[in-house]
Amino acid sequence: MNWIELIAAAVSALGVWLTAKRLPWCWPIGLVSVLIYAWVFFDVKLYSDALLQGVFAGILIYGWWRWLQNLGDDGRVRIAALAPRQALVHLGVGTVAAVLLGAFMHHQTDAALPWLDAALAVFSMVAQWWQARRHIACWWLWIAVDVIYIGMYAHKDLWITAGLYAAFLVLAAIGLRAWNGATIQR
C-alpha cells in the first residue's frame, strides 16, 4: 500500500501548491488525490477520513466551478472576505457535526480513532468549503487541522501521509502569506 500512499501524497501536494498559488488547476488535481486517498484511508480503518474524501470530491467540483467564475486578469482567483459571524456559524455547525459523526463512528464501526478522526474530517470540510469560497481564513484552519493530522497519521504508521501533512503545514503557511498579499473582494 505504501506506493499508493506515495502517489496520493505527491498528487495531493501538487494540488495544495497550486491552491497556494491561487491557480484553478488545483481543483482537478485535488480530485484525483482524494479518489486515491479514499482507498488508503479505508484500508487502515480511518472511515471518517475515507468518507471525507467523497465529500471533498463534491466540494472540489464546486470549488473548481466557483474559482473559474472569479478569476482576475492574471488568471488567479480573487480572494473574498469572510464575515466573522459566518465563520462562527460554520465552526459551530462543524462542532455539532464532529460530535455526531464521532458518536456514529464510535458506536457503529470499528474505527481506529473515531472521535479524533471525525473532528479532523469535519473541520477539514469547513476549511475546504472556505477554500472553495475563496476565504483567507481557510489557511488558518488548515494549519490547525494539519498539525493534529500529523500526529494522528504518525500514530497509525502512515508515515508518508504524516510527512505530507507536515508539507501541507508549510504550504498552508505559504498560502496564507500569498493570499494575504492579494486584494480582497468585498
- State the pLDDT at residue 186: 63
Q: How confident is the model at residue 135 (pLDDT cuts 50, 70, 90)?
A: very high
What is the pLDDT at residue 56?
87
Whole-structure pTM value: 0.87
Q: Where are the domains of the chain?
A: 2-185
Tell me what the mean pLDDT of segment 3-31 comes to: 92
For range 19-34, the mean pLDDT: 94
Indicate whether 169 pLDDT > 80: yes
- Rounded to the nearest angstrom, the gap between the alpha carbon of residue 41 and the centroid of all alpha carbons in its chain is 14
Q: Give residue 59's pLDDT.
A: 92
Whole-number Cα distances in Å, 124 to 8, 51, 71, 148: 17, 12, 24, 11
CA 43 to chain centre: 20
pLDDT tens track for 101-117 = 999 999 999 988 999 99
Mean pLDDT of all residues belonging to the chain:
92
Cα–Cα distances in Å, from 149 out to 9, 110, 161? 14, 20, 9
Q: What is the pLDDT of residue 184?
A: 74
Is the predicted pLDDT of residue 1 greater than 80, yes or no? no
